[in-house]
Structure 1
Amino acid sequence: MDNQNPLGSNVKQQEVQTPNESKRTPKAYLRMIALISTFGGLLFGYDTGVVNGALLFMAQPDQLNLTPFKEGLVASSLLFGAALGAVLGGRLSDRFGRRKNILYLACVFFFAALGCALAPTSDIMIVFRFILGLAVGGASVTVPTYLAEMSPAENRGRVVTQNELMIVTGQFLAFLMNAILGNIYGDTGHIWRWMLAIASIPAVVLWLGMLVLPESPRWLVVQGKFGEALNVLKRVREEERAAAELKEIQEVVDAEAHLEKASAKEFAVTPWIRRLLFIGIGVGIIQQITGVNAINYYGTQILKEAGFSMQAALIANTANGVISVTATLVGMWLLGKLGRRTIFLIGLTMTTITQCFIGVFSMTLSDQPFFPYLILSMTVTFMAFQQGCSAPITWLIMSEIFPLRLRGIGMGTVVFFSWIANFTVGLCFPVFLHGIGLSQTFFIFAFGGLMAIFFVAKWLPETKGRTLEQLEHCFRNYKTIDCRKL
């Protein structure tokens, strides 16, 4: 097909919709696309959260007999796999398409979840958790990209943020299923296998759902499939807007085609781009060093350490899931009201204060009967500010700061470092908890929170209310323009 004539005769041949084509309005069809594709986010959340509770059972001597270090490996092997999966996910979606890559990821989610559920030894469990992590990392990059490319510009932020909502929903469902199964069948040692196996169900839903969804129109244009791209746009846009948007996409693709292929070399030799990489990596890391995923992965163990029984800890931990979902909805609302820096600084300040309180209370009140409930109230408060303020900003900032031509390689790099930091926290937390105790461990996280506040105050740009072109101009001239101000 002639790439210089994207709106030519081939498009006209495909403009008429077939009788069996969906009768849904563009908004309804986009909602369906968001619902189905974000099952990738739901799986992300469930598979990272289910270990929070399942570890208590699989660690028992008559099961996998895990040491604290092996507990860390079981939890963090998924995170190391996710780091590699994030890098590979972007490249594979560029090569095979967003939709097809999500279909592949659904298969990996399914078989890896069953592999974990059937694992006879801790070593095999670690291998399948790593494979599961490849799918988690791939979904963390591919699903937001697919949503962004399917959404109209005015709704992109809200639609893409639905993936974050599905992630915390998946974590809540994992906590809830752990509590139900652990309390009803807690005397059955292998109940952890059912906790892990449940993740195969949304994987099937994701695979079946993606079979009926279209490919990203932007990816189709890159492949020269202009007619297919137009048909997709007509299903998610108003009729008169589809052709104009197709032309706009083609103009951007043509403009990028005249440039040299993006490479990592530019991050080393171009000062303003190198600075953006530093900021992006910093944002990805500070999301982890505050200890959010210590609560996500080991919240049940923390509550058990504080004095709850195993069954009570499983139930109490669901409160962290409920507040995460609620706070994410609040965070989506806050994004339209306050600047990114303001929201981030509020979240980091409050989570750091909460970490300090957990450390102090653990030192001074651990012998009091109300101590377990005090720690629960602190973890819930932490998750409220983390998921309501810090978490929504993290992925948004990383997706906004890089120029278009370097956005793919830039996002892949910073997400890789974020997952590596996540892996480090997941591996070290149970060792620290058993080695230096609850109090000192959370003082370490509080110190990480202080470093995060300093980083955001000094380097984080304000991106709210600016077009990507305005941001790029600001970043190019960072020595004369203070990008931290609105």
Structure 2
Amino acid sequence: MTLKPKTYTFLCGCFVALGSMLFGYDLGVIAGVLPAKDFIRVMGNPDKDYVGFISSSLTLGAFVACIPASLLADRFSRRSTIFVGSIIFLLGGCLQTAAKNREMMLAGRFFAGLAIGVLSMMAPLYQSEIAHPSIRGRLTTLQQFFLGIGATIASFVIFGISETQADTPFEWRFPLGLQMLPCLPLAAMIFFMPESPRWLMMVGRERESLETLARLHSSGDLDDALVRAEFSEMKSALIKESKEETGWMSLVTDAQNFRKLMLGITIQFSVQMTGVSCIQYYAPAIFEEIGFDKRMTFLFQSVNSIIALIGEAACVLYIDRLGRRGPLIFSNVISGSTFAVGTAIQAKYPASAKNTSASYAFVMMTWIFNFFFSAGIGPLGWAYPVEIFNTSIRAKATSITSMSSWISNFLIGQVSPKAFDSLGWKYYILFAIFGFTNAITIWAFFPETKGRTLEEMDEYFEKTHWIVPLSDYKPKLSRDDREEELRRGVLHQGITDETEVRVVQKQEKQEEEEEEEKKKGDLDPDYSLGISTSIA
């Protein structure tokens, strides 16, 4: 049975998201590994600074990997880069599982971090480049959904192991070894997935680009109207981009590229400043501090993971209807509010007060925070940057925006243990403030990207004021509008200038037949689409 095109494309996006599961699993598992007695013994009873570094060294590796990943992705393809990331993760996982000292553990964490930096960047980038315009948000938010699956599995593994294998090497070595499992099918089968049609177009393999686009969006029908229109827009956009500067410097010398880069950096930094990494890494310590035993803290983590997974599933299901701006603004307001309430609870009823109701109320705040973070902030922090850049600079630009995420994640992981010691509950005030400032920033500066093709983004941003509420241009509200236009052969030569085009023309057909007769794999670089236009 042939799968529907959108179903097939969605499943391809799910497969690539296995790389995101690795990071989610690590986030969940490291919180249970760090306090394990045998782990502490093997690591030589490290102080809190070193514990923080063991935790955050993974994000340091991810930070280092971003720019090399972008170079690999543009030079050797999206799939090849995902394969490299998978192999590196297997190396890091082996080192962590077999660690006999601090140095071996740190090396394993760093190599695993390199891999996670590659895979976390490549998954949404690849997903955005294969997606139908109407479900691009659904595909790119799979990153966070699979991260949630990984975290949920990790929390239950830690809970079960801590109950049955407490104080043994198995308590921490088995969870660390288990994290390698998703990498095996990812490395083994990634080349069975279709390549990004936009990358194929970018490197001049136009015939393969058309065939891959048809495989993804029309079950292989090369004459499908949507496929032909998308192909024409991709080609036109890349012809335009080829006449412009697309090197690293263009990210800062071109005003619109710089604007987008700042938006990408800002949203990635804002995700971490909600306090999510603080809770993910140190939740057991936080819950123990307010009076719960080890068993209850791990149970709370398991419940928290399920709540997050529900939120992430809601995001995948509804984000293409709701858009990006609204969920981001609302979720950040709730984020700031939950930290404000949690801070007030801790200030009024510290751990020494032994107020059980207050302690449970604080746990409830973390659960509410986690749901709304997972339903908006986390998924869109990765999805938004890959949508706004054009194909020629997408890998370069998202490598830099990803670096913003990892360096802020590293900062939180490294600073939090000392901050808890010196500031206690006052540390939470920082995250409460950032929740509200994040919401204001997104309202002021972030245009809505729902429903538009990737090729439209450059002109769309040019027509949208840097301060979004001052913009005269209003984006379309329906996620399906643009896709229906493409099916009718409507290409956007400019955001406000729509021209009816007949995409499949006799000249194009003749040239394709000539190419097939010559048995050439690619279309000629100077190939003309033969598009004739008539004003709509």
Q: TM-score, normalised by structure 2?
A: 0.79
> What whole-Å deviation, never above 9, does each CA across 1:125-170 have from its counterpart, x for those lacking one?
1222111111111112211122222223332222222222111111
**Residue in 2 aligned with 1:253?**
238
**Residue in 1 aligned with 2:429?**
443
- Superposed displacement of residue 483, structure 1: 7.5
Other structure's SS at 2:441 match: helix
Instruction: Give the letter aligned to residue 203 of structure 2.
Output: Q
Q: Which runs of 5+ in 1 are unaligned?
A: 1-21
Name the CA distance, whole Å, in 1 between partners of 2:254 and 2:210: 37
**Residue in 2 aligned with 1:15?**
none
Q: Are 2:246 and 2:393, in contact at CA under 8 Å, matched by a contact in 1?
A: no
- Superposed displacement of residue 202, structure 1: 0.8
Does 2:25 align with 1:46?
yes
Instruction: Give the letter aligned to residue 171 of structure 1.
Output: A
> What whole-Å deviation, never above 9, does each CA across 1:255-292 have from its counterpart, x for those lacking one?
3333333332551x444443333332221111111101
**Residue in 2 aligned with 1:399?**
386
**Residue in 1 aligned with 2:414?**
427
- Superposed displacement of residue 212, structure 1: 2.4
Higher deviation after alignment, 38-47 or 371-380 = 371-380
Instruction: Pick the aligned partner of 2:135 from 146, 152, 155.
Output: 155
| Equivalent runs, 1:287-366 vs 2, <5 Å | 287-365=271-349, 366=351
Name the CA distance, whole Å, in 2 between partners of 1:457 and 1:158: 22
| Equivalent runs, 1:23-422 vs 2, <5 Å | 26-57=5-36, 61-64=40-43, 65-238=45-218, 239=221, 240-241=223-224, 242=227, 245-267=230-252, 269-365=253-349, 366=351, 367-422=354-409
Higher deviation after alignment, 146-155 or 74-83 = 146-155
Does 2:446 align with 1:460?
yes
Instruction: Give the letter aligned to residue 28 of structure 2.
Output: G
Name the CA distance, whole Å, in 2 between partners of 1:465 and 1:153: 5
Higher deviation after alignment, 98-107 or 462-471 = 462-471
Alignment RMSD (CA, Å) = 2.7
| Shift in CA distance, 219/320, structure 1 to aligned 2, threshold 3 Å | same
- Superposed displacement of residue 77, structure 1: 0.7
Instruction: Give the letter aligned to residue 417 of structure 2.
Output: P
- Superposed displacement of residue 184, structure 1: 1.6
Higher deviation after alignment, 411-420 or 445-454 = 445-454
Q: Are 1:462 and 1:484, in contact at CA under 8 Å, matched by a contact in 2?
A: no
Instruction: Give the letter aligned to residue 414 of structure 2.
Output: L
Name the CA distance, whole Å, in 2 between partners of 1:283 and 1:28: 29
Name the CA distance, whole Å, in 1 between partners of 2:328 and 2:59: 24
- Superposed displacement of residue 423, structure 1: 0.9
Other structure's SS at 1:290 match: coil
**Residue in 1 aligned with 2:505?**
none
Higher deviation after alignment, 368-377 or 98-107 = 368-377
- Superposed displacement of residue 407, structure 1: 3.1
Q: Are 1:306 and 1:371, in contact at CA under 8 Å, matched by a contact in 2?
A: no
- Superposed displacement of residue 395, structure 1: 2.4
Instruction: Give the letter aligned to residue 23 of structure 2.
Output: F
> What whole-Å deviation, never above 9, does each CA across 1:33-70 have from its counterpart, x for those lacking one?
22321111111211233212111116864232221111
Q: Are 2:36 and 2:167, in contact at CA under 8 Å, matched by a contact in 1?
A: no
Name the CA distance, whole Å, in 2 between partners of 1:462 and 1:153: 14
Instruction: Give the letter aligned to residue 238 of structure 2.
Output: V
| Shift in CA distance, 435/31, structure 1 to aligned 2, threshold 3 Å | same
Higher deviation after alignment, 22-31 or 377-386 = 22-31
| Shift in CA distance, 53/483, structure 1 to aligned 2, threshold 3 Å | farther
Name the CA distance, whole Å, in 2 between partners of 1:352 and 1:462: 22
Instruction: Give the letter aligned to residue 392 of structure 1.
Output: P
| Shift in CA distance, 245/323, structure 1 to aligned 2, threshold 3 Å | same
Name the CA distance, whole Å, in 2 between partners of 1:315 and 1:109: 28
Q: Are 1:272 and 1:475, in contact at CA under 8 Å, matched by a contact in 2?
A: no
Instruction: Give the letter aligned to residue 164 of structure 1.
Output: Q
- Superposed displacement of residue 105, structure 1: 1.1
Name the CA distance, whole Å, in 2 between partners of 1:200 and 1:375: 34
Name the CA distance, whole Å, in 2 between partners of 1:225 and 1:384: 43
Instruction: Give the letter aligned to residue 137 of structure 2.
Output: G
Q: Which runs of 5+ in 2 are unaligned?
A: 476-536
Name the CA distance, whole Å, in 2 between partners of 1:27 and 1:400: 18
Instruction: Give the letter aligned to residue 455 of structure 1.
Output: T
Name the CA distance, whole Å, in 2 between partners of 1:484 and 1:47: 43
Instruction: Give the letter aligned to residue 202 of structure 2.
Output: V
| Shift in CA distance, 28/318, structure 1 to aligned 2, threshold 3 Å | same
Q: Are 1:461 and 1:485, in contact at CA under 8 Å, matched by a contact in 2?
A: no
Q: Are 1:62 and 1:189, in contact at CA under 8 Å, matched by a contact in 2?
A: no
| Shift in CA distance, 447/58, structure 1 to aligned 2, threshold 3 Å | farther
Q: Are 1:38 and 1:162, in contact at CA under 8 Å, matched by a contact in 2?
A: yes
- Superposed displacement of residue 86, structure 1: 2.3
**Residue in 2 aligned with 1:471?**
460
State the identity as a percent: 26
Q: Are 1:57 and 1:190, in contact at CA under 8 Å, matched by a contact in 2?
A: no
Higher deviation after alignment, 72-81 or 212-221 = 212-221
- Superposed displacement of residue 205, structure 1: 1.9
Q: Are 1:59 and 1:66, in contact at CA under 8 Å, matched by a contact in 2?
A: no
Instruction: Give the letter aligned to residue 72 of structure 1.
Output: G
Other structure's SS at 1:191 match: helix
Q: TM-score, normalised by structure 1?
A: 0.87
Q: Are 1:79 and 1:419, in contact at CA under 8 Å, matched by a contact in 2?
A: yes
Name the CA distance, whole Å, in 2 between partners of 1:30 and 1:342: 26
